[in-house]
């Protein structure tokens, strides 16, 4: 039976006040690392061939523009995709789909010219340091989107209309810029019908969330698009200006440290927290045996704890505490107290990985204020590289 939010918060407080909770540590996500390079310098020349050969949990490291198609579909098998060649490799469309519970898609450094889609994923999906025209998340249980820029030019399905469309999904957005586009301007007639014209089209929302969805937005810009100008020198109407967001009645939307810029009104209800954003920045990867540096930001006086070796899930605990992603952790490590200025760099002990492999450790930082209220910084997967694995 699911715990009520206040009961989960109390359990968190007891965990921080009492002895370390000892859960059985689940196996880490460890996999072989394969390099993909179109010039033949890697293990594969195309990412399609690498994905077909990869096992669940493997890392596909793109070091030079791969050969192959521009419409990429990663279906059913969880892998980690790291792209070092953002400037040259820009696929047209990328779809992540049908990921079973217990598996993970991790995508870092991808530049998508058209649309990035996450569909029917019961497992965890993390997309970071990426760009796309638009993104769509449908029927997915745990999606984290971090440091992503969406410009909103491509069409979405499922009746969604925004730079990002969310339907029946749980999503965290952190440090993103989502920009709805200006509506298409109307046309003015010519020839035998100089008085003919068309209306301008409506602007696009930065975010459109529908169905039964849980959405947390932190330190993100949501920019709505203006309506298109009517044709005929004012004879036809301008399109409607869009708001920053549109959310349906079944959507639980919380905004923290989020800038809303729009010429029109947003549609639906959001909880806007007058709170300091809590954030933990982890390295892209670390070598086996190397200490792990974590940069924390929050409110001065916060005490920070790291949750390690748990399971990546997506449990709402309260509108004021964010989302607990790493649950059933086997280790809790006190990182320190945030000084005046609210920024702390902390060091975690080294972890080991076998030669030629990478292990991905679920890691989340919880910050507890002076009143004992715990707030969750969005979690991530920390990559530990074994000997012989190239850094990313």
Could you tell me the two tokens for 176?
């993103």
User: pTM for the complete prediction?
Assistant: 0.88
Cα–Cα distance for residue pair 79/68, rounded to 1 Å: 18
Cα–Cα distance for residue pair 221/223, rounded to 1 Å: 6
Could you tell me the two tokens for 229?
């100008």
Other CB atoms within 10 A of residue 301 CB: 14
Length of the chain: 392
How many Cα atoms within 13 Å fall on the side-chain side of residue 69? 8
What are the phi and psi torsion angles at 5 (to 5°)?
Answer: -55, -45
Closest to 53 measured CA to CA, from 30, 37, 77: 77
Query: Which pLDDT does position 318 carry in this prediction?
Result: 65
**Under 8 Å between Cβ of 226 and 243:** no
What are the phi and psi torsion angles at 232 (to 5°)?
Answer: 75, 30
Contacts of 230 (CB under 8 A, 6+ apart): 185, 186, 197, 198, 199, 200, 236, 237, 238, 239
Query: Which pLDDT does position 193 carry in this prediction?
Result: 72
Cα–Cα distance for residue pair 282/129, rounded to 1 Å: 13
Q: Going from the first residue of the chain to its last (392 residues), give the mean pLDDT of each consecutive group of 10, the final group possibly shorter.
A: 37 41 41 94 96 96 91 96 85 96 94 94 96 95 96 73 94 96 86 79 94 96 94 86 96 95 96 91 94 96 93 77 85 95 94 93 92 91 93 90
Query: Which pLDDT does position 157 carry in this prediction?
Result: 74
Residue that the structure tokens 């009961």 belong to: 7
Give the distance from CA 247 to its chain's centroid.
Answer: 18
Cα–Cα distance for residue pair 308/325, rounded to 1 Å: 11
Closest to 219 measured CA to CA, from 245, 257, 246, 187: 257
pLDDT, one tens digit per residue, over 51-103 is 999 999 999 999 999 998 899 999 999 999 999 877 778 999 999 999 999 99
Cα–Cα distance for residue pair 123/170, rounded to 1 Å: 11
Pairing of strands 292-297, 343-348: antiparallel
């Amino acid at each position: 039976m699911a715990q009520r939010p206040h009961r989960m918060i109390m359990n968190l407080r007891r965990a921080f006040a009492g002895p370390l909770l000892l859960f059985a540590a689940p196996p880490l996500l460890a996999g072989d690392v394969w390099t993909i390079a179109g010039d033949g310098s890697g293990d594969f020349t195309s990412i399609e061939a690498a994905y077909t050969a990869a096992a669940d949990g493997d890392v596909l490291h793109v070091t030079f523009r791969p050969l192959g198609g521009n419409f990429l579909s990663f279906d059913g098998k969880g892998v980690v995709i790291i792209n070092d060649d953002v400037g040259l490799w820009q696929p047209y469309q990328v779809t992540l789909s049908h990921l079973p519970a217990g598996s993970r898609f991790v995508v870092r450094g991808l530049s998508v010219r058209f649309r990035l889609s996450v569909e029917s994923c019961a497992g965890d999906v993390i997309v970071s340091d990426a760009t796309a025209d638009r993104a769509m998340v449908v029927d997915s249980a745990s999606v984290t989107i971090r440091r992503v820029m969406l410009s909103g030019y491509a069409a979405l399905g499922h009746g969604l209309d925004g730079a990002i469309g969310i339907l029946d999904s749980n999503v965290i957005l952190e440090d993103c810029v989502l920009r709805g586009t200006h509506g298409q301007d109307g046309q003015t007639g010519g020839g035998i019908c100089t008085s003919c014209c068309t209306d301008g089209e409506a602007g696009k929302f930065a975010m459109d969330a529908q169905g039964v969805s849980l959405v947390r937005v932190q330190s993100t810009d949501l920019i709505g698009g203006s309506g298109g100008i009517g044709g005929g020198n004012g004879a036809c109407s301008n399109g409607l200006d869009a708001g920053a967001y549109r959310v349906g009645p079944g959507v639980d939307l919380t905004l923290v440290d989020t800038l809303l810029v729009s010429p029109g009104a947003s549609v639906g209800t959001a909880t806007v927290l007058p709170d300091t954003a809590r954030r933990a920045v982890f390295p892209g990867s670390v070598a086996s045996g190397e200490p792990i540096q974590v940069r924390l930001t929050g409110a001065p006086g916060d005490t920070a704890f790291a949750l390690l070796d748990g399971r990546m899930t997506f449990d709402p605990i309260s509108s004021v505490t964010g989302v607990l992603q790493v649950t059933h952790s086997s280790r809790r490590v006190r990182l320190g107290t945030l000084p005046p200025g609210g920024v702390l760099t902390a060091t975690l002990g080294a972890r080991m990985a076998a030669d030629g492999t990478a292990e991905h450790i679920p890691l989340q930082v919880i910050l507890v204020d002076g009143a004992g209220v715990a707030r969750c910084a969005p979690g991530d997967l920390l990559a530990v590289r074994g000997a012989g694995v190239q850094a990313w």
